[in-house]
A and B are shown apart, each in its own frame.
Chain A
């Protein structure tokens, strides 16, 4: 075994891909990035379905008829009240293909936000009981990634669903 190979890991001139296994922090966050990408792909399929079906109102109400412009700027809590409001006006998900794709897309986003809030509570408890050990800080980092990925999805929902309804 020769000396140049022996000192691979700390050699500054060696490319990253030759330096051996990455640290636990890098591995955990990289894996989570991949999960987020897969989550974005799932949303992409729902956006595609919405794009195909958004005109298919089957004689029922359209987006422009339904969406309250004031609600558009705040979400989560209002998402729920918006859903109830729409259902009470006879515009539930089984009314038309447009409403099916709307409820699924926005509802899945809402489900993600709810999951994120529960995760946040778990992280509070973890920090309290376990302290800021590496395992916990890795999870906090992943939580941060998750939360901001939801922002990106919301930008898409806002643009395509709500602003798109008034085009």
Chain B
């Protein structure tokens, strides 16, 4: 009846899990109780859960990312504490089988549900506004994508309390991840969570690529798009080209596990190294899917706060697209030790060094943009400057490991762990934090508290160096990754230092929550009535904060890059244009619960497949199909906004923004 699911699947005997379950459970209970008592359910349902507005979906992705950051960081703290303790005779508090789940969950969560969710969230929020359009190409599909990502989150978190998570590392290499060596449901949780959320990401990639290529305000040719839109285009092209490979690879592993196929097994002709190749053909582009939008955020932030147009717009665009193409030609540097031979390793080593060139071009462009600018040292600039220093170090250690003989020494060492955290934190996370602070006033109509924002930055910045510089040293001394215990006591002081860094980052994360609470309480003091709190350059700053559901009552006419900057140089002309405007009614998509219901049935399907509850899997599959079919017959998906309503809202904004 319930497949492999029995009471034994719930780890009653593990106090850490049970305490976590109690804390998470009571937190969820208090949340549900508050929402019920305050009567917020209908608001949440109508305005958020069923929303097809790209801005709200973007905000929900960011909330998802923040929640999962807390979960992923809890895993990180557990690992750092374990390694600070488990030296010599001491074994620490995490047994190996638990430690293995913790590092696998940490990597999976941080990449797929923190970095990916936040980057997709920022792109969802900002790209249509920057392009001067009313929504993405397929608003309902956008909602479906978000909720499929949420299903992945749900399944990964369920694995904490029901059953177990993979013990295989974040990429689940076979033959360890095959059914013979991982007979539990951990790998199945991993595979189905990522298949489902990966489908959401693919659909979101198709959506945003179509949006950027086919829906731009009149006059916004490719050469006039903001750089963030260019980097978003590159990232989404990579999603469309790379995620299907992940789907196919996971499908092969699933067939191995469920149906006895032999793609990656040791026997009957299977080839485990084929998995490693396939997964990294997705995995390396994935690195650039995450970092390119972060580069875009920094480009916007630096140009805005230096008060100058971005230096070398064209070289920035060319560098972005060069990285987009080259990212498919370097995957083998993740496993030089496979033994493909000197020629193959040489080719991929050189390609890896070449991909550093366009990245270097970008760094110089940012420096030259800052040069001679009147820089306002606001929080996003802190993140941008911290990024430029930190990311260059991370990039250089990457080029160092691109030399195959050096990689043979450093492969799977803590040096590698330090390198990719150097780029993932110093690049992606700093970019997410910069974008979060930069676009927050656009999303909610008030700025975040600057003082606490700067404190958050310093905690992350110093905390990062404290936590990861020791790992470079430990890696050179021979400490390997995924190590639960070590005999060499001389490593312990460096491990203590790393734990100190992690604790400082913990303070940073806590301060982010404090910053949100304080900023909401001070929102009248920090309110943005003009829609342009930073003296911005691109079109998102030309509308009110928060923008109306349709963003632009009249689509802007774009005449050059930094369209809004040049528009506002002539304020009298802006006022004249506003006075002469006549509004026409237009259609906007209606909210729909289709995304939520598809996700509901898909969650049932995923859970049933993990536990092999076949009847539930059939119900889940048919339910999701039925919801899609019902949606196919929906002919009243849009509603007309009357011209009078638009005019009232626009006048109100114009009065506040001093445009009349």
Which residues from chain A sit less than 8 Å from chain B, CB to CB?
Answer: 1, 5-6, 8-9, 15, 17-22, 26-27, 30-31, 34-35, 37-39, 41-46, 48-49, 52-53, 56-58, 93-101, 103-104, 122, 126, 129-130, 133, 135, 139
Contact = CB atoms under 8 A, between A and B. Distances in A.
Nearest to A5: B557
A73 B547 CA distance: 58
Interface residues of B, number: 55
A1 B244 CA distance: 45
The listed residue with most B CB atoms (<10 A of its CB), out of A42, A129, A139, is: A42
Contacts, number: 149
Interface string B186-221: 000000000000000010011101100111111111
Interface in B266-281: 267-271, 274, 278, 281
A99 B261 CA distance: 8
B221 A38 contact: no
Contacts of B206: 31, 34-35, 38
B202 A38 contact: yes
28 contacts: A5-B559, A9-B218, A17-B221, A20-B216, A20-B217, A21-B216, A22-B214, A27-B214, A30-B214, A31-B137, A34-B209, A35-B206, A37-B241, A38-B244, A41-B241, A42-B244, A45-B244, A49-B263, A53-B263, A56-B271, A57-B269, A93-B259, A94-B259, A96-B262, A96-B269, A97-B263, A100-B256, A104-B255
Contacts of A39: 244
A103 B261 contact: yes
A53 B633 contact: no
Given A31-B137, A104-B261, A129 B274 contact: no
Contacts of B270: 53, 56, 97, 100
Contacts of A104: 251-252, 255, 261, 263
Contacts of B248: 42-43, 45-46, 49
Contacts of B217: 20-21
Nearest to B625: A118
B448 to A, nearest CB: 33
A8 B259 CA distance: 58
Given A21-B133, A45-B281, 15 more contacts: A5-B218, A5-B559, A27-B210, A27-B215, A31-B138, A37-B240, A41-B244, A42-B244, A45-B249, A56-B271, A97-B263, A104-B251, A104-B255, A104-B261, A126-B632
A97 B268 contact: yes
Contact of B252 (A27, A38, A49): A49
B207 A1 contact: no
B213 A30 contact: yes
Q: List the 5 shortest-distance A-B pairs measured between CB atoms, nearest first.
A: A56-B269, A97-B269, A20-B218, A45-B248, A42-B244
A27 B137 contact: yes
A103 B263 CA distance: 11
A58 B269 contact: yes
Contacts of B633: 126, 129-130
B89 interface: no
Contacts of A100: 252, 255-256, 261-263, 270
Contact of B245 (A42, A58, A99, A126): A42
A150 B221 CA distance: 34
A107 to B, nearest CB: 9
Contact of B210 (A19, A34, A53): A34
Contacts of A53: 263, 269-271, 274
What is the interface of chain A mostly: helix, strand, loop, or mixed? helix
Nearest to A55: B269
Interface string B531-561: 0000000000000000000000001010100
B278 A48 contact: yes
A53 B278 CA distance: 14
B214 A21 contact: yes
Nearest to B581: A1
A52 B249 CA distance: 14
Interface of B: 133, 137-138, 202, 205-207, 209-210, 213-222, 240-245, 247-249, 251-252, 255-256, 259-263, 265, 267-271, 274, 278, 281, 555, 557, 559, 577, 580, 629, 632-633, 635
B268 A95 contact: yes
A45 B278 contact: yes
Nearest to B242: A41
Contact of A97 (B221, B222, B262): B262
A52 B265 CA distance: 14
Contacts of B271: 52-53, 56, 97
Contacts of B241: 37-38, 41
Contact of B221 (A15, A27, A48, A101): A15
A18 B221 contact: yes
B221 to A, nearest CB: 4
Nearest to A1: B577
Contact of B261 (A43, A94, A133): A94
A98 to B, nearest CB: 6
Nearest to B236: A34
B220 A31 contact: no
A100 B245 CA distance: 17
A37 B237 CA distance: 11
A100 B270 CA distance: 9
Contacts of B207: 31
Contacts of A30: 210, 213-214
A19 B221 CA distance: 8
B198 to A, nearest CB: 11
Contacts of A27: 137, 210, 214-215
A97 B261 CA distance: 7
Nearest to B628: A122
Contacts of A17: 216, 221-222
Contacts of B256: 100
B635 A135 contact: yes
A5 B554 CA distance: 14
Contacts of A135: 635
Nearest to B239: A38
A21 B209 CA distance: 14
Contacts of A99: 262
Contacts of A19: 218
A34 B240 CA distance: 7
The listed residue with most A CB atoms (<10 A of its CB), out of B133, B219, B268, B632, is: B268
A126 B217 CA distance: 33
B635 A22 contact: no
Contacts of A5: 218-219, 557, 559
